Structure 1
Amino acid sequence: MSPIRIASFIALVGAMSILGADFVTSVAHADEAQDHHQQAILFKRAGRFEEALAEAQAAIRARPNYAAAHLTAGSLYRELGRLRPALGCFNAATRLQPDNAYGWAMKGALHLRLRQWSAAVAPLSQAVELDPSDASSWGNLGLAYRRTGDAELAMDAYRQGLRVSPSDPGLINNLAVTLNNARRYEETIILLGEAIDQFEANWQMHLNLAIALRSAERCEEAIPHYRQALTLNARHEGALFDFAICLEIESQADEAVRVYRQYIQVVRARDPAAAARAQERVDALGGR
C-alpha cells in the first residue's frame, strides 16, 4: 500500500474512531438519563419524594430535552409544595413535547392550584383538544371558566366531561353549582334528580339539590335532602341555616328552633352577627 493510501486509511480509521466515541458517549448519556428517571419513578412510588426529585434532576442534567423527566420533576415539586419550580418544569415539558396532552393538563391544574384562573384556561383547552377523553381536564377547564366568570363555557366544559364520564360525581356537582349560581334551578333539579339514587351518600349532591329546590320555592321537597346532607356532614353552616328556613316556611317550628340553635353553636365564635340573626329567628318562633 502506498504511503498516501496508508495515510488516508489511518485518517479514515481515526475519523471513524472519533465518530464511534461520540456515538458511545451519546448512548451512555441517553442511558444515564433514562436510568436516573426510572430510579426517580421508583422513589416516587415509594413516597421518597426528595430522593426521587434528586434523580429526576440528574436525568434532566444528563439530557436537558428529556420531557418525561421534566414532567416527573414537576410532579415531585408539586408533591413537596414547591409550586413555582413545578410550574417551570411543566412549562419546559410542554415546550419540549407540545403534542403531549398530559403535560398541558398538569400545567393547567397547577395554575388552578395557584389560583391563577385565567392562566389555566389556555393549557387546559390545549389538553382537552389533544385528548378529548380526559374527563379530569374537562372538569378543571370548567372550574377555570367558572372562576373567571364565564358560566356558559363552564357548563359546556362540565357537560363535555360528563359525555366522557357520565357518572363522575365531581363533574355532576360542579355543573349543579354552576347552574344554581346562574339561577337555573329547574335544570339542577333535573340533573341531580337523575343522579341522586346512584350517589345516596354524597352530601354535596343532596345539598345542591336541596338548594335548587328551596330556591324554586319547593321547600317541602328540599327538607329531606337538607336532612340527608346534614346527616352526612352535620356542621355545614350554610346547610344548617337554609334547612332551618325551610322548616320554618313549612311550619315545622320546633325542629326549626333546634336547627337554628345548632347553627348558632357552630358560628357563634367566628361570626357573632350571624349567630345573632339566627337567635332572632329562635325568639320569633317562641324558643328560648
Structure 2
Amino acid sequence: MVQQQQFSCSVDPGFEFDRSGRLEQHVGGLFKDTCFPVIEHSMPWIPWFLSNCHCGAQGACNDHRPETTPQGPWNRHVYSGSGHSTGIVRRRGVGRGLLTGYTSPFPESVYRDVPPPRKHPGMNDWQRAEQHADRALEFFDRGRLAEAEHELRQALSIHPDNADWHFNLGLTLEASGREGEALERFEQAAKLAPDQMHPMLAAGSMNLRLEQWEKARSWFEEARRHDAESEDAYAGLIEAWNGLGNHEEAEATFYMAEWSLEEPSALCHAAMAHGLIAQSDWTRAESCLRTAMGIDPDLPELRARLALVLVRTDRGEQAMSMLNRVLQDNADDLEALFASATLLDELARWPEAIERLERLLRLDPLHLDAHELLASIALRTRHFDRAIFEYQLVLRLYPAHGPSMLGLAEALLSIGRIEDASLLLDHVYKRRETTCRRSRLDASPLDRLASLLLAVGRDEEAMTTARESIERSGQSNDRLRNLALAAFRSGHSEIGWKASRRVLRLEPGCIRSIHNLALSSLESGRYRLAAGWISRGLACHPGDEDLRRLRVRLWTRICLRKILPGSRSADREPGEA
C-alpha cells in the first residue's frame, strides 16, 4: 500500500481560461521550491529528420515532448508519427532520441540548390527572404517559436513556392502544438517538391498522429512508390493499415517490406508487433519484438512492449528480470526506468513504481510521461493533491496534452470542485479533435471524456462524444452504455433504447441496460414493458435492490391508473435498432 508521505503536497492549484479560450494555470508558488524549471515555450525547436537520413514515420510518441540529454534539459528528439499508445515505428539511426552528429534543425537542402522563385523577385527581395529564413533558424534554436513562425511567413510572402520553407514552417507549427496547420504545410511542401521524400513522410506521420489513417496510408503509399526501398515508408504503411483495423493488409505490407528491403527492418518488425499486440497475438508479437531488438537493440520502447507481452502471458517476473538486468548495466537508463515503472504499475506494485519514477525524474525533471504516470497512480490511490500537482506540471510544460486535462478534471471532481471540472471539460470537448487522441497511457480518451461529461451533468455533449467514440473505435459495451445513459438523460429515448438493446445483444445479462430500459418504460407510461424488463432483470439478478424499488414504483403506478380514470398510456415498444 502506498504510504501517505510519498504523496505529500500542500498546494492550492487552480486554473482558468483567458478570453481566447486558452487554458491558463495559476499554481501560486508551486514551482518556487522545486527543481522543476518553468519554461517559456511548450517545445523547443526539434528537427524531424537529419539531412543525410530521410525521415520516417514514428509511433508511440511522447507527443513531441522534450527529454533530457547530457547537453541540457532539451533532447534533440525526432518527431513521431503515430499518436496512439501502441505505435512504435521509429527512425533508423536514432538511439534513445539522440541525433548523433546533429548540426542543424533544417535539412541541408534548405541552403543548397534552392530553385529560383517562379515570380523572379529582385535580388534584394531574394536576399531579404534568405535573411528571414536564417533568422527563423536562430529563433527556432532558441525556442522562440512565434518569432520563427513570423520570419518564415515573411520569407514565404516573398517566395511562396519554396518547398523547404513550407516544410520548416510545418516543423515550427508542429513544435507549437498546432498539428492541423503543420499538416497543411507538409502537404503543401510535398506538392511543391514531388521528388522529395521527407515532406511525404512528414505528412504521413502527422496524419498518423491525428489518427487520419486513410490519408496517412495514401501518403506512405506515395512515398513507397517514390522509393521502393524506403524502410520508413513501409513501416508507416504498416502503422496506417493497423490504424484502419486491416491487419491482413498490414501483414501483407510487412512481408512485402521483407522481400523488398536488402536487410531485415527493425522498424517494420516493431510496427508489425504493434498490430499483433492489438489482436492479442502475443506469441507472434513477442517474436517480432525479439527480432527487432536483435536488429537494433537501441530502438526506443522495444523493451517496454516486450515486457507488456510477457505480462499478458503471465510472465511478469521474467519481464521485471529483463528490465532489472538493463538497469544493472546502466542505472540511469531512462527508458528502462520508465518501462519498469509502467510494468510495476501494471502489477499494482505502486510503491516500487513511485520509487522508479522519482528516480527517473531526478535524472530528467521534464520527463512528461513520468509525471503523467505518477499523476495517474496518485489518482488511483486517492492522493488527489499530488495528482493535481503532477497533472498541472504536465500542462505547464505541454498545454495541449488532453489526457492530463482529463486526469485533472477527474481529480477535481474527486475533491468536489465540480464547476472547475466542468469548465475544464468544456475546454477539452470543444477541442476534442486535437486533445482526445490516444496516448501511451490513455488509449481511449473519448470514452473517458464521455464518462466525465456524464459525471458533471453535460448529457448532450456526452452523447455526442460517445457517438464519436463508437464511430472511431467501434462498438463496445461500455461505449454503448455511455451512449444509452446520455441519451436517456437528455431526452433522446429512441437513441437510448437502441443503444441498450445493442448492449443486451452483446451481454444478455447486463443489469445497467435492463434497469435503464425498465425505468424508461416506466417513466413513459409503458407499464407492461416495464414489468417485462423488471421480471427479466430479477430473473438474472434476484437480489438487485434497484430493480426491486422499480417494481414497487410500477405497482404504485398501476394502482393509481386503476383508481384515476383516463390515465391509460399506449403500451408500445420503441423501434429497435
Scaled by the length of structure 2, what TM-score is found?
0.37
Q: Equivalent of 2:454, from 177, 181, 192? A: 177
Q: Equivalent of 1:57, from 320, 324, 327? A: 324
Kindly name which structure, 1 or 2, has the bigger radius of gyration based on alpha carbons.
1
CA distance in 2 between partners of 1:248 and 1:223 (Å): 15
CA distance in 2 between partners of 1:224 and 1:45 (Å): 38
CA distance in 2 between partners of 1:93 and 1:204 (Å): 39
Look up the match of 2:503.
Answer: 232
Question: Contact (CA 8 Å) 1:134, 1:161: kept in 2 or not?
Answer: no
Question: Contact (CA 8 Å) 2:514, 2:533: kept in 1 or not?
Answer: yes
Query: What does 1:88-237 align with in structure 2 at a 5 Å threshold?
Result: 88-162=355-429, 163=431, 164-165=434-435, 168-180=445-457, 187-189=458-460, 191-192=461-462, 194-195=464-465, 197-198=467-468, 199=470, 201=475, 202-213=479-490, 218=491, 221-233=492-504, 234-237=508-511
- Kindly tell me the number of residue pairs found equivalent between the two proteins: 237
The answer to which structure, 1 or 2, has the higher relative contact order (CA under 8 A, 6+ apart) is 2
Q: Equivalent of 2:532, from 253, 258, 281? A: 258
Scaled by the length of structure 1, what TM-score is found?
0.68
CA offset digits 1:55-107 (Å, max 9, x no partner): 32233344434333321211121233322211211122122211111110111
The residue type equivalent to 2:526 in the other structure is Q
227-236 or 80-89: which moved more? Answer: 227-236
Look up the match of 1:245.
Answer: 519
Look up the match of 1:77.
Answer: 344
Equivalent pairs: percent with the same residue? Answer: 14
Quick one: structure 1 residues 225 and 67, their matched pair in 2 at CA, closer, same or farther if it must change by over 3 Å? same
Shift of 1:230: 4.2
Question: Contact (CA 8 Å) 1:158, 1:174: kept in 2 or not?
Answer: no
| SS of aligned partner of 1:144 | helix
CA offset digits 1:229-259 (Å, max 9, x no partner): 2431554434433432332232212111111
| SS of aligned partner of 1:129 | helix
CA distance in 1 between partners of 2:402 and 2:488 (Å): 26
The residue type equivalent to 2:333 in the other structure is Y
RMSD of equivalent CA atoms: 3.2
The residue type equivalent to 2:379 in the other structure is L
The residue type equivalent to 2:435 in the other structure is S
Quick one: structure 1 residues 123 and 192, their matched pair in 2 at CA, closer, same or farther if it must change by over 3 Å? closer
| SS of aligned partner of 1:149 | coil
Quick one: structure 1 residues 227 and 117, their matched pair in 2 at CA, closer, same or farther if it must change by over 3 Å? farther
Quick one: structure 1 residues 160 and 130, their matched pair in 2 at CA, closer, same or farther if it must change by over 3 Å? farther
* Structure with the larger helix share: 1
Q: Equivalent of 1:278, from 550, 567, 573? A: 550
